[in-house]
Amino acid sequence: MDELCYLSATEALRLFRARELSPVELVQAVIDRAAKVEPVINAFAETRYEEALAKARDAEARYAGSGRPPRPLEGIPVAVKEEAPIEGQRNTLGSLALRDNVADHTAVFVRRILDAGGIVHARSTTPEFSCAPVTWSRLWGVTRNPWNTAYAPGGSSGGSGASLASGSTTLATGSDIGGSIRIPASFCGVVGFKPPYGRVPEVEIFNLDHYCHEGPLARTVADCALLENVIAGPHPSDVASLRPKLEIPERLEPVAGMRIALSLDLGCYDVDAEVVSNTLAAAERLRDAGAIVEEVTLPWDLATIGRAARIHFGMIFGPSVRGLYEQHADELTSYARRFVEEGDEIPKEAFVEGLELEARIYAPLGELLERYDALICPTFSVPALPAEYDSGDPVTINDRVHEDWVEVLMTVPFNIASRCPVMSVPSGRSRIGVPTGLSIVGRTYDDVTVFRIGAAHEERFPWLDIPERRPDL
């Protein structure tokens, strides 16, 4: 059963079609696995197992030729981040202040998963309001990294990353406003894709926030492409959604001859020595695949990145929960209160300054990506953060103490450069047992190149496909 719960979605679909595996068997396997691991990792905010098994039986009938033909995700278990609304289900955003909130509509991208035959057997945990790089809240408690439970699975899509790594789901969804797909992918040793802004329809008002992205997490690049192809595409409810729909091809061209830039620190981040070593090893694998990989420098500085991010969050994200803060401050987590309070320090006059800073940050990246097909770099500056890390806590890197959370989030520049697609794939494992991640940054809207590089790296460095590279839970 443990092997079955780690089956990839693409392989499961092949076996379903060949009538060698039933969707009921797969759904039951991930439910059984969850029963074993959930007391340890706490990745699920809510489970819907009976409903999932009923849908699996319906999927089984479709594959047997009864009724309509199977759909693209028919019978595949999908953990959907609790942040995303599903009509009739709780939609608390991980907040005690919203503990009784029930969604009155379903997000477009989730509706696409359901319409494609995906089975939502669980809702994955998040930090409150999805505003932290770790996953704990007063509502759900602490979600832990299955590789080492003293550490976080990342955030804010931490429940999604942890459930994939521990085998309690086959696919998962995430959202990303500062790294919330890529950080869990890195910490948990899975694949996470931040699509470019507008690729996947968003829920208002955040469809107009160019830092904000919905995207897939999976255990393989092919599975990530499978889910991305289901959720991407224009929708009349979202003016920012892109036309025409982009499909990631099933067969990806090799990377031989491709020119790839490598930055170990993005010009300004202090990066853990093991993370650097694993990034260099990943670069060497791409060279083995025939790519030309050259180390480059970027003229970025942390002060500019931090100021741009704080202006943006202070203009949109903080004010979006200001009303709850005023009425329920005593029920909010420390990091959520801090997020709102930092936003209060940003005057409306700073809006133009923020746009100028964002342009200044993107300019050298855009120039670099004219000379190279993509950029690779570490996903995060350390292998993982402690499970109960708070955004006000210092982080020590290479014996240097960093007091500001912006100084460890290497993901944030690519929310600023939001039209660039970014994928995080596993790059290795650290001395504390948790994996590390490699980010693949593409030219604006060049998703396919990012998937090509991810697939080439994975071919030479498969991760969770190998039992010895799975968490020992």
Q: How many CB atoms lie within 10 A of CB 235?
A: 17
Q: Catalytic residue among 81, 175, 194, 439, which?
A: 81
pLDDT given at position 92? 98
Residue ranges of domains in the chain, CATH in brackets: 2-298+360-469 (3.90.1300.10)
Q: What pTM did the predictor assign? A: 0.98
Q: Please say whether the beta carbons of 29 and 4 come within 8 A.
A: yes
Q: Please say whether the beta carbons of 296 and 320 come within 8 A.
A: no
pLDDT given at position 416? 98
Measured between alpha carbons, how far is 219 from 146 in angstroms, rounded to an integer?
Answer: 14
Residues 6+ positions from 197 with CB-CB distance below 8 Å: 210, 212, 213, 240, 418, 419
pLDDT given at position 468? 79
pLDDT given at position 221? 98
Measured between alpha carbons, how far is 132 from 338 in angstroms, rounded to an integer?
Answer: 11
The number of CA neighbours under 13 Å toward the Cβ of 17 is 12
Q: Please say whether the beta carbons of 32 and 245 come within 8 A.
A: no
Does 320 qualify as catalytic in the annotation? no
Q: What is the DSSP letter of 470?
A: S
The alpha carbon torsion through 457, 458, 463, 467 (nearest 10 deg) reads: -140
In Å, what is the CA distance from 213 to each residue of 176, 185, 350?
Answer: 5, 15, 24
Exposed/middle/buried for residue 364 (C-beta within 10 Å: 0-12, 13-18, 19+): middle
The number of CA neighbours under 13 Å toward the Cβ of 4 is 20
Closest CA to 125 of 169, 187, 81, 173: 81
Q: Please say whether the beta carbons of 317 and 282 come within 8 A.
A: no
CA 273 to chain CA centroid, Å, is: 24
- What percent of the chain is helix, strand and coil (3-state, nearest 5)? 40, 15, 45
pLDDT given at position 317? 82
Residue 7 amino acid letter = L
Q: How many CB atoms lie within 10 A of CB 8?
A: 19
Quote the tokens at residue 127: 């930090």
pLDDT given at position 2? 66
Exposed/middle/buried for residue 249 (C-beta within 10 Å: 0-12, 13-18, 19+): exposed
pLDDT given at position 32? 98
pLDDT given at position 318? 84
pLDDT given at position 437? 98
Does 8 qualify as catalytic in the annotation? no
Does 348 qualify as catalytic in the annotation? no
pLDDT tens over the chain, length 473 residues: 468 999 999 999 999 999 999 999 999 999 999 999 999 999 999 999 999 999 999 999 999 999 899 999 999 999 999 999 999 999 999 999 999 999 999 999 999 999 999 999 999 999 999 999 999 999 999 999 999 999 999 999 999 999 999 999 999 999 999 999 999 999 999 999 999 999 999 998 999 999 999 999 999 999 999 999 999 999 999 999 999 999 999 999 999 999 999 999 999 999 999 999 999 999 999 999 999 999 999 999 999 999 999 999 999 988 899 999 999 999 999 999 999 999 999 999 999 999 999 999 999 999 999 999 999 999 999 999 999 999 989 999 999 999 998 899 999 999 999 999 999 999 999 999 999 999 999 999 999 999 999 999 999 999 888 887 899 88
Quote the tokens at residue 122: 């669980």
Q: Please say whether the beta carbons of 131 and 119 come within 8 A.
A: no
Quote the tokens at residue 195: 């699509």
**DSSP codes joined into one string, 311-372:** HHHHHTHHHHTHHHHHHHGGGS-HHHHHHHHHHHTS-TTHHHHHHHHHHHHHHHHHHHHHHS
Measured between alpha carbons, how far is 288 from 168 in angstroms, rounded to an integer?
Answer: 34
Q: Catalytic residue among 8, 166, 168, 180, which?
A: 180
Measured between alpha carbons, how far is 349 from 396 in angstroms, rounded to an integer?
Answer: 34
Q: Catalytic residue among 124, 130, 137, 156, which?
A: 156
